[in-house]
Amino acid sequence: MEGSELPRPYVVLSVAVSVDGYIDDMVPERLYLSNEADFDRVEVERTACDAILIGAETLRRDNPRLIIKSEERLAARKAAGKPAHLQKIVVTGSGNLDPAARFWHYGVEERRPLVYTTDTGAEKLHDRLGDLGIVVSLGETVDFGSLLDDLSNRDIGRLMIEGGTSIHTAVLEAGLADELHLAVAPLLIGQADAPRFVDPAAFPGGSRRRMHLVDVTQIGDVAVLRYLPKADSDSI
Ligand SMILES: NC(=O)c1ccc[n+]([C@@H]2O[C@H](COP(=O)([O-])OP(=O)(O)OC[C@H]3O[C@@H](n4cnc5c(N)ncnc54)[C@H](OP(=O)(O)O)[C@@H]3O)[C@@H](O)[C@H]2O)c1
């Protein structure tokens, strides 16, 4: 895919983690790490974005709708001339996505979800999804820089990334996140095979580089930390 002349979207990576660094447990029922007030804070962040992206495993495991629930926020977006809901995006290599998942059926009246995949995945998805989504192949692999270039051509200025582990890891390793919002929930998961915030990777600057912390907010029993991952702690 060709590079874009337009600026890439501003990327906000938002995640809820346990105190011991996990983003889920091993129990099949969905684990909610945050509290209600923090979910509302996340919805405010979503409302300010144009698009929201998840990985295929999060879609398969959590079956999220990824909508804005508040009527007031939907109305405010419309009044500002924006689509009420965000452009939904999923990334898959396998193309193994269930057309019955809620992702395809809520908040999609104005725009169908985008699916970034490989040539192999695209072949499978055209049959499997029909008109439910817009399938975009990025070639043999999905490179996140190319994905952002493609989004800039689709009028996406601000992108919210909401997991899971493999997506966080790839985006941070490639140095593509402009903001990192970490909601730390007062839980200890303690299960070795549970998904962590990130997998081991060669992150920019290595293990001694400190990111710039711009804000810490307490929301009930959750601490929300905001970092600028592209900036060193002593550079601002
Ligand atoms: N606490 C939180 O804030 C939070 C938020 C979101 C998710 N989660 C949790 O995160 C867990 C899932 O994390 P995960 O790492 O297993 O899954 P994930 O990151 O959601 O999705 C992984 C899948 O995305 C696709 N993918 C990722 N990078 C790709 C690339 N470069 N090219 C092509 N496809 C790519 C692949 O799909 P295919 O397998 O289809 O090829 C891969 O298997 C779940 O337990 C979920 O509950 C937690």
Bridge partner residues of 179 (DSSP)? 12
Percentages (nearest 5) of helix, strand, coil residues in the chain: 25, 25, 50
DSSP code for 175 = T
CATH of the domain at 216: 3.40.430.10
Provide the pLDDT for residue 206: 94
Report the alpha-carbon angle 50-91-130, nearest 5: 90
Is the distance from the beta carbon of residue 55 to the nearest atom of ligand 1 less than 6 Å? Answer: yes
- In 3D, which of 32, 12, 67 has the Cα closest to residue 221? 32
Is the distance from the beta carbon of residue 23 to the nearest atom of ligand 1 less than 6 Å? Answer: yes
Provide the pLDDT for residue 6: 86
- In 3D, which of 169, 174, 219, 173 has the Cα closest to residue 199? 169
Alpha helices in the chain (DSSP H): 36-47, 56-62, 71-79, 119-129, 144-152, 165-173
Which residue owns the Cα nearest ligand 1 atom 43? 57
Query: Hey, which of 166, 182, 184, 224 would you mutate to test ligand 1's pocket, going by the most ligand atoms within 8 Å of its Cβ?
Result: 166
Whether 5 maps to a domain, the answer reads no
Provide the pLDDT for residue 231: 81
Provide the pLDDT for residue 4: 56
Whether 74 maps to a domain, the answer reads yes
Whether 208 maps to a domain, the answer reads yes
d(CA 60, CA 62): 6
Is the distance from the beta carbon of residue 33 to the nearest atom of ligand 1 less than 6 Å? Answer: yes
Domains in the chain: how many in total? 1
Print pLDDT tens along the chain (236 aa).
455 578 999 999 999 999 999 999 999 999 999 999 999 999 999 999 999 999 999 999 999 999 999 999 999 999 999 999 999 999 999 999 999 999 999 999 999 999 999 999 999 999 999 999 999 999 999 999 999 999 999 999 999 999 999 999 999 999 999 999 999 999 999 999 999 999 999 999 999 999 999 999 999 999 999 999 998 776 65
Query: Could you tell me the CA-to-CA distances from 27 to 61, 136, 199, 234 in Å, in that order?
Result: 11, 33, 20, 41
Provide the pLDDT for residue 88: 98
Which residue owns the Cα nearest ligand 1 atom 36? 92
Token couple for 214: 């711009």
d(CA 91, CA 142): 8
Whether 4 maps to a domain, the answer reads no
Provide the pLDDT for residue 3: 52
Ligand 1 atom, smallest distance to 15 CA: 3
Whether 54 maps to a domain, the answer reads yes
Whether 2 maps to a domain, the answer reads no
Whether 96 maps to a domain, the answer reads yes
Phi and psi at 184, nearest 5°, equal -95, 115
Assessment of whether the complete model's pTM goes beyond 0.85: yes
d(CA 124, CA 21): 35
Is the distance from the beta carbon of residue 151 to the nearest atom of ligand 1 less than 6 Å? Answer: no
Residue-number span of the structural domain to which 55 is assigned: 10-232
d(CA 202, CA 179): 19
Give 42 Cα–ligand 1 centroid separation in angstroms. Answer: 19
Whether 131 maps to a domain, the answer reads yes
